[in-house]
Structures are given as structure tokens and as C-alpha cells.
Chains A and B, each alone.
Chain A
Amino acid sequence: MTNKPHPLSMASLPGLDKRYRAEKRFKFAGVLAVFSSLAFLGFLIVAIALKSAGAFQTYEVEILVKKEKYLELRDQPFIFLQSTMRYNLSGVVNGQAMREAVNMVVDGAEIDLLDHIENLQQNTRADGLGSYSVWVTLSNRVVSALSKQDIGTNLTARQQAWVEGWVANNKVRQRFNVGFLTNGDSRDPERAGIGSALVGSAFMLLVCMVLSFGVGILAAIYLEEFAPKNKYTVFLEVNINNLATVPSIIFGLLGLSVFLNLFGLPRSAAIVGGMVLALMTMPTIIIASRLALQSVPLSIREAAFSVGASPLQTVFHHVLPLALPGMLTGTILGMARAIGETAPLLMIGMLAFIVEAPDNIFDPASVLPVQIFLWAESPERGFEEKTAAAIIVLLAFLLVMNLTAIILRKKLEKKW
């Protein structure tokens, strides 16, 4: 009597425990998959973020400049720099020491020095007496030694002594590297920034968005709401779906042969990049927009038709407002893909070394992903962290775009 299982217990139904075990196994595998993908993602982001840290910060040293030397040597900047370094550092007695001293600060520091002093002079009296105190960016070698707290590796014994002296006297300060976000590209990793690439990316995205959003959404509306359903539209639909999966470099080749060679548009310009990316994102936008239109219930269309609205009024007064959040989400996700695209841009010559930010969409421009590609290829050690930092900026850009898509969708959905 006591051995008889409860009629509703697990034991009363043979094979039930096996079913539960299978369920548990499946659940465990699922959780494992989620966590491993999270781990890979986390590893990637942490690795890049750690590497990029150096590029976002820079170190400066306080340099004293004698007013009389400034007045005497300001027309010979490099000699002025040498004299200033000799004044600030001890033991600069021969050519080798002078080279090492000048290498302590960033290339072109003499120009920075003169600029700073000129700025100071507007505020102070220049009577040729006393001295100026000016903050100058340190060279990449010193910066990386300071940020890694490993002074020994890349510096000579003399340079190590100087750095230690500066640090001991609190002459070194750490600053956020504004130049990284505002400067254009440069051969010197200390000066190279993503400023012009950001402007280029913005121009390109603008062109891409105007073209692909306008054309894509109108195409979707026509195909979904007005076009007759026949073999031609089915053929068109299949081809649009196929286009969405075409490798992006193919669009680059198309851009090269049509936009550059046939239409004669400028190489490396934001307008061509935007056009190529618009071609690439248009199928995505059309597909997302059609799905959004399909998800608007038939009953809304019927309601509009039943009060005598024309097809156009039905679409623009009732269907489109309901489908718009989905369309915008699709568009922003398409844009997010476009902004990270590199291959098609290389085909249209967006590979050039460009320092100046473009003034308009016809100027030669550089864009973020291409800038990353170029820096990743550079042999200088300093570009390694620049590359990582640019990737972080790009990722932040993508994050902001995706968040915008989510917020926009939530906000517009609420209204309806």
C-alpha cells in the first residue's frame, strides 16, 4: 500500500523523467549558446577598448620659454625649439642628445609652441623679460611609455631620466585627446584624428539616406499597395530579394563603372559613396518597408475605402502612418549597415590619404571604416591604438543609430 506511487506523481507515468531530462538538456544548451556568444562579444569589445584607451588620452609637458629667446628666434621655429629644449632639459650637450631631446615632444611641436605663445601674448605684456609657461604634447613614444607605465622599453637612458624628472616635478599632465576627434588624418600617429573621416561619413550617410529612403519607401508603397500582382511584379520581387544578398563589393564595381567611368563623377567623393551605399541599402529598405505595410491590418484599409477614400488617400492617411515606424526602423538598420561598409568604397577610390575635411559632397572625403582600414595597415606603432579607438567610435555610432531606431519606433507606436 505504501509503495504505491501518488497517481499524479512523476513515477506514475513511465518515460516522464526522460522527457524532463531532454527538456533540461535543451534549456542548458540554449543558455550555453547565449552565454558563449555574449562572452565572445564581450571579449571583442574589451580587447578593442583596452587597446584604444591610449588614443583617447594624451600627455602634455610644461615647457618654459624665455621671452627674449622667443623674440630672437621666432622666425626660425626649429632652432627656437632646439634652444627651448636645451633650456628645459639638462645634459643636452651634443647632437645625439639634442635629437633625443627634440624627440621627446610631438613632431612639429615648434609650431604648437609659437601658436601657444601668440595666444598668450594677446593677454600679457611682452616686454622681453621673464618667461612663458607652455603645455606641449609629448611624442608618441613618451606617451605610450607613460600610459603603459613602462619607461624602460622604448626610451634611451637620457630620455628616461628626463621623463622621470618631469613626473617627479609634476610637469606632466594627462588630457583628453580632443585632437583625435577633430584632426584630419596625418602621417604622425600623435596628430592623426578621425575628424575629417567623421565629416566624410556624415556627408556620405546623408546622400545615402536621402536617396535610399525616398526611393526605397516609394518603391515599397507602389509594389505593395498599387502594383498589380502578376508575373512581372513577382519577378521584380524575387530580384529585389536577391539584390539584398549581393556582396557589397559588387555594388562598388557598379559604382566604379557607372558613376565614375560613365557619369564622370569625382573619385573618392561622398556623393559617389552615398550613391553606391544607397544602391546597397535600397533592397533592405524596400523589403523592410513592404513588411511594415503588410503588417497594417486589412480592416484599416477597408474602413477607409468604405467611407469613400481613394487608394492614394487610404495609403497616405491611414496605412503609411501605421507602417512608418517599421519603415524607419528598417531604414536606420540599413543605414547602420551602410556606415560600416568598406569594400564598395575602396572600389570607388575612397582609399586616398585625405587630411582636410570635405566642404561638400563633391570634395574628396575619407570615411570612418576606410580610415580604420588605412590605419590598420600602417606600420607605426601609434596607429595601433588609433585603429582601436576609431573602431570604438564607429561602434558607438552604430549603437546610437540602433538606439535611435528603437526609441523612434516606441515613440511613434505610442502615438497610434
Chain B
Amino acid sequence: MVTYTVNEDNNPDTVKAKIIVDKVSVAYGDHLALNDIALDIISNKVTALIGPSGCGKTTFLRCINRMNDLIGSCKVTGSILLDGYDIYAPEVDVEVLRRKVGMVFQKPNPFPKSIYDNIAYGVKIHGLASDKEELDAIVEQSLVRAGLFEEVADRLDVSGTSLSGGQQQRLCIARAIAISPDVILMDEPCSALDPIATAKIEELIHELKERYTIVIVTHSMQQAARVSDYTAFFHEGDLVEKGETSALFTNPNDKRTEAYITGRIG
């Protein structure tokens, strides 16, 4: 169990919390989906959220970029600090927040537009490129970082939906990183992909954490063990256990965690 604080000095040896979640509860109408969650998400590390279906891990993920705002009955209490600032503060603009906190979804969901337009869209609406050349450069760089550039370099004008599932998911990752976010949220990004495509995405996650803080929801414990530095185990709306992945998987403190990672619940 590690504890961390926001640190202002740039000492690389101290762990630095990008996001500090405290006393967060989420209710859908009368149903309490998350109960008093406290979790620190470390900068430039991969944090995996695991737990059985319906445990609230996706709900938690969607609190971090306020996608839950889209659901009218959803009510979030508590505080989530991004770089020390509360993202639920009244003056926060969700569009600015989502620029900082990108998201990749369970099912690849490229826009039914060309590969180029898929990536350029976010850049355009935020006005991040001053001219066509800069935009081209951002698109290329995003594709390179998402490990897709070589495969699609000669057909940027074909529809994003014509790619294979794994390529579509990497396109979505490229779309997310094109607007240079600090945090990327991934909601079971490999659940619709075959093992080879999954391996590619996992490899990519390793590379991406150099630049971005990653939070990933996954059903696969092997995946959590492979890609993440920290793991948080959710169960029935509670955050049961959190810690470094290696410690949590080898020596869980809570009986429920142990039961889940050994396959007895879930």
C-alpha cells in the first residue's frame, strides 16, 4: 500500500498523483453505484480497474471525464482533483476537461468518416492546428504514436469503419491522443478484439504511458497483470483493495480480492 500526494517538485523518484479521488459516490436515481471511493492515480503509470461485472468500475472511469453527465439520473458526490483542481467545480467546462482526459471505448467507435478526418476532428474543433501543414503533422504523429501509421499511410482517405477491429481501436487511440490529453481512459479496450490485436494494444499502452497517464478497465486479470503498474479492485460499488499490481496479485489483503483473482467470484 502506497500513499502519495501531489508533488510540485519534479523529483522523478517520488510518485506523483495525477488524479486524486476522494469520497466519491455515484447514484443512478435511488441505486448507489459507487460508494465512497478514494483512489490516487499516478502520473505516467497505468492504473487498472478490475472487478466483476456491475461492480462500478466503468462508472468510476466515466466520472473522470464526466461522461456520466450525459445520464440525467446520475449524481456524483465527492471530489476528483486533476492536477489539484476539482473537475466537478461549477466553473469547469466539460469540453475543456475532456480535451485533457481522453477516452477509448469498449467497442471501437471511429466516426464514419475518413481516417484523416477521424483524427483531425478533435484538433479542428479545439483549434489546435493553425494551418493545414500543422494539422497534417498532428494527424501523422498521432497515427505513429498509436502504431497505426505504417498500416494506413497510403489510405488516409478511406473510411475509418473499413479498418479491422484492432486497427479501428488503434485509430480511436490516435483520435484520443491527437488533442494531446494528459490522461487516457480506456474502457475494456480489448474486449472486442482477437489475441493478436489485443497484444498490439497492450504493447501500445506500454509505450503510451511515457507521455500519458492511463486508466484502464479490464475484465482480464492477465491483462491487468501484464499492462498495469497499479491495480484497484472494485466489488459491488466498493473499492475493496488498491495497490501496486505485483503486490495485489501475489499477496491480496482482502478475501474478496483473493477470491476474484483466483477465479472464485466474478
Contact = CB atoms under 8 A, between A and B. Distances in A.
Interface residues of B, number: 25
Interface of B: 65, 67, 70, 72, 95-99, 102-103, 105, 107, 109-112, 121-122, 125-126, 172, 175-176, 179
A230 to B, nearest CB: 9
A307 B122 contact: yes
A310 interface: yes
Given A229-B72, A299-B107, A313-B125, A305 B112 contact: no
Contacts of A317: 121, 125
Contact of B67 (A228, A306, A322): A306
Interface of A: 228-229, 297, 299-310, 313, 317-318, 322, 416
Contacts of B107: 299
A100 B112 CA distance: 74
B72 to A, nearest CB: 6
Contacts of A309: 95, 121-122, 125
A308 B111 contact: no
A-B interface, 10 closest residue pairs, ranked by CB to CB distance from nearest: A307-B122, A299-B109, A306-B103, A308-B98, A308-B99, A303-B109, A308-B95, A416-B112, A310-B95, A309-B125
Nearest to A299: B109
Given A299-B107, A299-B109, A416-B112, A305 B70 contact: yes
B172 A303 contact: yes
A307 B100 CA distance: 9
A310 B95 CA distance: 6
B190 to A, nearest CB: 16
Contacts, number: 62
A318 B124 CA distance: 14
Contacts of A228: 72
B122 A308 contact: yes
Contact of A307 (B70, B72, B96, B121): B121
B29 to A, nearest CB: 13
A217 to B, nearest CB: 20
A31 B97 CA distance: 60
Contacts of B112: 300, 322, 416
A307 B126 CA distance: 9
A302 B112 CA distance: 13
Given A305-B70, A308-B122, A309-B121, 7 more contacts: A297-B109, A302-B70, A307-B175, A308-B99, A308-B125, A313-B125, A416-B112
A371 to B, nearest CB: 45
B125 A306 contact: no
Contact of A303 (B70, B96, B110): B110
Nearest to A306: B103
Given A307-B179, A308-B95, A300 B122 contact: no
Given A308-B122, A308-B179, A309-B125, A303 B105 contact: yes
Contact of A305 (B96, B98, B111, B172): B98
